Amino acid sequence: MRAHLNTEKSLTPSWLKGLSDRRIGQALAIMHLRCDEHWTASLLADEVGMARSSFSRAFHHLVGQLPMEYLVDCRIQLAARYLLDRQLSVSEISEAVGYRSERAFRQAFRQRFGMAPRDYVKVHRDTLEM
C-alpha cells in the first residue's frame, strides 16, 4: 500500500499520503481517535518518537497541513456530525472534541464553516428534511 501511495501522490487525498510514513500515520490515528485530548505538536511528536520540528516538517510535507491545523479540522468535522445527531448541546460538543472553552469552539467552527453551529444545524436540518 505504501508503494502505491508513493506512486499515486497526485490522486491521493492528503491524509492518506500521511499513511505512507509509519509515524505520521500513527499521529493521524491518534488525532482521530483521541481528538478530545489537549494536544500540542510537541506532545504528538513525543507520542510517535520524533523531534517536534522533524515531526511538523514531515507531517506538513505528507499531509499538506501543519499538525495542529489538521487536528482543528478533525475536531470541527466531528463536531459537525455531533451537531446533526442533536444528542448533545453545543457546550457538550465543544468539550467532547477537545475545546477548553465554548467560545473558542464557536470561533473555530465559524472559521471553518462560515456560520455559527446553530445556523449550521438549521441549514443542514432543512437539507435533510427535503
Instruction: Give the tens place of pLDDT for each residue, 45-89.
Output: 999 999 999 999 999 999 999 999 999 999 999 999 999 998 899
pLDDT of residue 14: 72
Task: Specify whether the CB–CB gap between 63 and 17 falls below 8 A.
Answer: yes
Q: What was the pLDDT predicted at 57?
A: 97
Q: What value does the mean pLDDT take over residues 104-117? A: 95
In tens, the pLDDT along 7-38 reads 444 444 577 777 778 999 999 999 999 988 99
Task: Kindly report the CATH number that applies to the domain delimited by 72-129.
Answer: 1.10.10
Specify whether the CB–CB gap between 87 and 121 falls below 8 A: no
Neighbours of 116 (CB within 10 A): 14
Cα 25 to Cα 126: distance, rounded to the nearest angstrom:
37
- Residue 127's pLDDT is 66
Return phi, psi of residue 115, to 5°: -160, 160
Q: Read off the pLDDT band of 129 (50, 70, 90).
A: low
Residue 2 corresponds to which cell in the numbers above? 505504501
Portions of the chain given CATH number 1.10.10: 72-129
